Amino acid sequence: MTVPDPAHPFDQEPAVPAIPTVLPDAAAVGTAVAEIVADALAASPGRPFLLGCPSGRSLESTYRALAAQVTARRLDLGDLVVVLMDEYLVEGSDGFERVDPALSHSCVGYGRREIVAPLAAAAAAIGVRGPAGLWAPDPRAPGTYDDQIEAAGGLDLFLLASGASDGHIALNQPGTARSSRTHVVQLGEATRRDNMATFPDLTTLDAVPTHGVTVGISTIVDQSRAVVMVLTGSEKATACTRIVAATGYDPQWPSTAFAECANAQLFTDRAAAGDPDKGR
């Protein structure tokens, strides 16, 4: 487990699962979470700042709002490393390899287009440095990803999302062990169907890759100083209920890993919370 850095702006004591902060809509959630990321970046102690990032719909408003924060606060991003959670795989001649990053469902492609490029453009417009790098797990040597993260000092902040129908986090499937590190995984039908709604080129279930490489539950929980879980839309209501009720990791709903994370915050919109008066 990563030793917390005393210069880091987050509290260092492990936190119990948070009462959700419920905001009106996904845009409001994105703005609030982007401010948390911007605050952490501004207070970074001058070493690589590792930001764990999912691809897909849940964090889209956060990434847009973060680019706006760069402009408004003149944030230098020269220490920012975007650490992707996962990637889809295809079977090559000598094993699995990442899908072509030009495809819309490539997580690496998403990271380049939707996270790094807008941040780099915002930074260039105000004359400061853009992100230092984009990392993704290698299916040929997945365990080295955890080593790479640990060698850099661990993840300063991990942004998280949950699958709607099976609670997958990154591409961790129901039944994933708490001790799991970055690994290649066969994807269940529920995860594959969830992701059909995210990527426009996946028009049939047969088009969705059957395998991926993903950070493990231990990677998320044990390598992160702080996490923020984002749940938006009525389809995430079950995930919200399961995560709020969790007192520890339930392998049958992997996103309950949130309950074991240090400095954990949960942000939802009203649709995901189910009740506009729930939370604070």
Of the candidates 106, 107, 122, the residue with the CA atom closest to the CA atom of residue 41: 122
Q: Is 278 a domain residue? A: no
Where in the sequence is the domain holding 62, given as residue range(s)? 21-269
CA-to-CA distance for 119 and 83, rounded, in angstroms? 14
Q: What confidence score (pLDDT) does residue 97 get?
A: 95
Residue written as token pair 């066969």: 186
| Paired sense of beta strands 95-98 and 21-23, if any | unpaired
Given its phi and psi angles, is residue 127 left (phi above 0), alpha (psi -120 to 50 degrees) or beta? left
274 is a domain residue: no
pLDDT value of position 18: 59
> What is residue 187's predicted lDDT score, i.e. its pLDDT?
94
* pLDDT on residue 52: 98
pLDDT, averaged in runs of 10, over the chain (280 residues): 40 56 97 98 91 94 98 97 97 90 94 98 98 97 97 97 94 97 95 80 88 98 98 96 96 97 97 68
Domain count, the chain: 1
Which residues are CB-neighbours of 230 under 8 A, at least 6 positions away? 29, 33, 58, 59, 62, 159, 160, 161, 267, 268
With both helix axes pointing from N to C terminus, report the angle between 60-73 and 117-125 in degrees, rounded to the nearest 10: 10
CATH code where residue 200 lies: 3.40.50.1360
Q: What is the pLDDT of residue 249?
A: 97
- Position 222 in a domain: yes
Residue 8 domain-assigned (yes or no): no
Q: What is the structure's pLDDT at 198?
A: 74
Does residue 28 belong to any structural domain of this protein?
A: yes
Structure tokens at 105: 């469902």
- Give the burial class of 224: count Cβ atoms within 10 A of its Cβ; 0-12 exposed, 13-18 middle, 19 or more buried: buried
Is there a domain that residue 5 lies in?
A: no
pLDDT value of residue 254: 98
Domain-located, residue 32:
yes
10 domain residue, yes or no: no
Tell me the sheet residues that pair with 157. Answer: 51
In this structure, are residues 249 and 212 in contact, taking their beta carbons and an 8 Å threshold? Answer: no
The label of the residue with tokens 């690589």 reads: 48
User: Nearest 5°: phi and psi at 268?
Assistant: -135, 160
Contacting residues for 150 by C-beta, under 8 A, at least 6 apart: 2, 223
Residue 92 has a pLDDT of: 83
pLDDT value of residue 213: 98
Cβ-in-10-Å burial (0-12, 13-18, 19+) of 117 comes to middle
Q: Are 239 and 255 in contact (CB under 8 A)?
A: yes
